[in-house]
Amino acid sequence: MNQDWPLFEVFVRGKRGLNHVHVGSLHAADERMALTHARDLYTRRNEGVSIWVVRSSDITASTPDEKDPFFEPSGDKVYRHPTFYDIPDDVPHI
């Protein structure tokens, strides 16, 4: 039997109002152990109020290169950004 524990990715919410952020990974036998290990490893100084763990093998990722066609659909849509629109300087609050 394989005694090497699987790899988990750890996400920590630093404080209320923030998203969970990926902080690293660790090995654990199961999800519950991954959570307690994550607490001991990544939040020894109150770095978080909430932790997610997920098996690394369960993560689906885009391909790495930022020039990848995967992100192309958003590349040419400049009109999604507020700076695309010319508004006269004397219009307030916009």
Partner 1 sequence: MTQTTTAAGPEAQDRLQAHFDGVIAHDRRIEPRDWMPDAYRGTLVRQIAQHAHSEIIGMQPEGAWITRAPSLRRKAILFAKVQDEAGHGLYLYAAAETLGVDRADLTRRLIEGRQKYSSIFNYPTLSFADVGVIGWLVDGAAICNQVPLCRSSFGPYARAMVRICKEESFHQRQGYELLLTMMRGTAAQRAMVQDAVDRWWWPSLMMFGPPDEASPNSARSMGWKIKRHSNDELRQRFVDMTVPQAEKLGVTLPDPELRWNPERGRHDFGTPDWDELKRVISGNGPCNEERVERRRRAHEDGAWVRRAAAAHAKKQAARQEAAREAGQDAGHTGTGSGADGRETR
Which residue in the set 17, 46, 60, 65 belongs to the binding site for partner 1 (CB under 8 A)?
65
Span near partner 1 by CB under 8 A; candidates 39-47, 73-81, 85-93? 39-47
For residues 36 and 40, give the distance between their C-alpha atoms in angstroms, rounded to a whole number: 6
**Minimum Å distance from CB 93 to partner 1?**
34
Q: Is residue 39 within the footprint of partner 1 (CB under 8 A)?
A: no
Q: Is residue 1 within the footprint of partner 1 (CB under 8 A)?
A: yes
Q: Which amino acid is located at 32 in the chain?
A: R
Task: Give yes or no for a contact between 10 and 52, defined as CB atoms under 8 angstroms apart.
Answer: yes
Task: Give yes or no for a contact between 49 and 42, defined as CB atoms under 8 angstroms apart.
Answer: no
Which residue in the set 15, 18, 36, 41 belongs to the binding site for partner 1 (CB under 8 A)?
41
For residues 72 and 75, give the distance between their C-alpha atoms in angstroms, rounded to a whole number: 5
